[in-house]
Chain A
């Protein structure tokens, strides 16, 4: 007899736990306000990334098309993956008559970048920073190799002091 009572108890308590579980899911289906879906491409206008979000390395240029990169290669050394490649050039300074290093191209291989943020603190002149763009999908891998300094841009005066 005790066996039968235990058997019934087992069934009843088992069913109770199942109903308890169904209560949880039942709560959510009856509370559509709890829905947390964000519809991504549609909410692009309101989507704001966090300030520190690391999307890609960018080089800010001011209105005179000037940047702050002296071509010191500190970022290139700091990068663990060889993502940054600086092609240098020497131009003659008219006033002093000395040759001076500048950058010809600041090549950034986005396909190799792990967004580790080691290059940013390494830069002595704050010439590069992390951008917010994260939509990097392209059709061809070669498009991921970017030149960060804009054509015709030059070093901002007073950065090197």
Chain B
């Protein structure tokens, strides 16, 4: 060790802090090993696996219908999209063409899920920054969506609404009126979000220029979803690989180029507007048709490999199924968006304060069961 290095080592004031596994702002059981210099974060090292349930291993034992309900438990806030990913993959393998009705219902439900996920994210983001009131406002609006879910599929969070070949139930009679009611309600309330948080000077200072992620890093780390789009990378699966009814609706892909926390925040807020646009385009003309295609009780995929990706509220969820012709898949891999997004945390948080780390974590919108699977 040279004199200079020795000097540096003795002068260093670095210390370690364990943030989590039980911590208010990790939103679950994520453990971050922080290396701090005073208040400044010099390194973040995520330690995962506190809620690892080996879903991929369980899938190897389950039939294709049974896999679907396990995906509810990954990213529970965008459970409908997770279900949809598996069902689309299985349908692709079975070469079933679902009816237009199913496609439209799936799209509407996906967008409602995205809205509810973003509402919860907005509330929690406020709470992470110390404005607890926003949490309640976010939940207030989310409640209307969960009511719609409850009426449609019988559950509020882990819905398990999709099955290979369609959806489990037909939509209830008052589905359309309820969704329209929600849209009119939320179109009034969303500007309130801006008034309370987006334009607030304290909030602006807390987010602008914090946790910048360049486009190159975003692609290299595979940071997808609104977080990646805030860095200028247009990666919306709904646009690039349209599935369900996304090819027949007209919507904007929200892309910002700043790459900071505020851009990620704006991207999500704007996505809420776009989601409402998509729902409004579809809600009035849900085509008639079967809500379910008949499948055999035991689904056997031919010997093949399928990769199906969907755009969840957090980014690109990929389902890779390797089938060997039996009734259980040989291997299932879930490429979860949170897993890759978390990977970039160190790059974003390095050099910021502890408070910035909290901001960054809430703007990349982590859901821990999604990361650990």
Please give the residue numbers on chain A whose beta carbons come within 8 Å of chain B beta carbons, in ascending order: 13-14, 17-18, 20-21, 23-25, 36, 49-54, 74, 78, 80, 114-118, 121-122, 130
Contact = CB atoms under 8 A, between A and B. Distances in A.
A132 B1 CA distance: 70
Contacts of B197: 21
Of the candidates B140, B154, B196, B297, the one having the most CB atoms from chain A within 10 angstroms of its own CB is: B154
A18 B200 contact: yes
A82 B68 CA distance: 16
Contact of A18 (B69, B147, B168, B201): B201
B160 interface: yes
A117 B168 contact: yes
Contacts of A52: 150-154, 169, 172
B76 to A, nearest CB: 12
A118 B69 contact: yes
A25 B192 CA distance: 10
Nearest to B169: A52
Contact of B150 (A50, A78, A116): A50
B54 interface: no
A13 to B, nearest CB: 8
Interface in B212-250: none
Given A17-B201, A118-B66, A122-B297, A25 B196 contact: yes
B55 to A, nearest CB: 11
A24 B191 CA distance: 10
A14 B147 CA distance: 38
Interface centre among A51, A54, A116 (most CB of B within 10 A): A116
A26 B69 CA distance: 43
B158 interface: yes
Given A78-B65, A114-B158, 4 more contacts: A52-B151, A80-B69, A115-B154, A116-B68
A14 B200 CA distance: 8
A80 B62 contact: yes
A53 B151 CA distance: 7
Which 10 A-B residue pairings sit nearest by Cβ, starting from the closest?
A52-B154, A80-B66, A116-B69, A14-B201, A54-B154, A50-B151, A24-B196, A17-B201, A116-B160, A50-B150
Contacts, number: 71
Q: Interface majority SS on B: helix, strand, loop or mixed? A: helix
Interface string B40-71: 00000000000000000000001001101110
A21 B155 contact: no
Contacts of B168: 117, 121
B12 interface: no
Contacts of B154: 50, 52-54, 115, 117, 130
Contact of B133 (A25, A51, A117): A25
Contact of A53 (B68, B70, B150): B150
Contacts of B147: 50
A22 to B, nearest CB: 9
A17 B152 contact: no
Contacts of B155: 53-54, 115
B199 A17 contact: yes
Contacts of B62: 80
Contacts of B133: 25
A92 B72 CA distance: 45
Contacts of A54: 154-155
A3 to B, nearest CB: 19
B280 interface: no
A36 B136 CA distance: 10
Nearest to A10: B201
B60 to A, nearest CB: 13
Given A17-B201, A114-B158, A80 B70 contact: yes
A130 B158 CA distance: 15
6 contacts: A13-B201, A14-B201, A17-B201, A20-B195, A80-B69, A117-B160
Contacts of A20: 195, 199-200
A36 B195 contact: no
Contacts of A117: 154, 160, 168
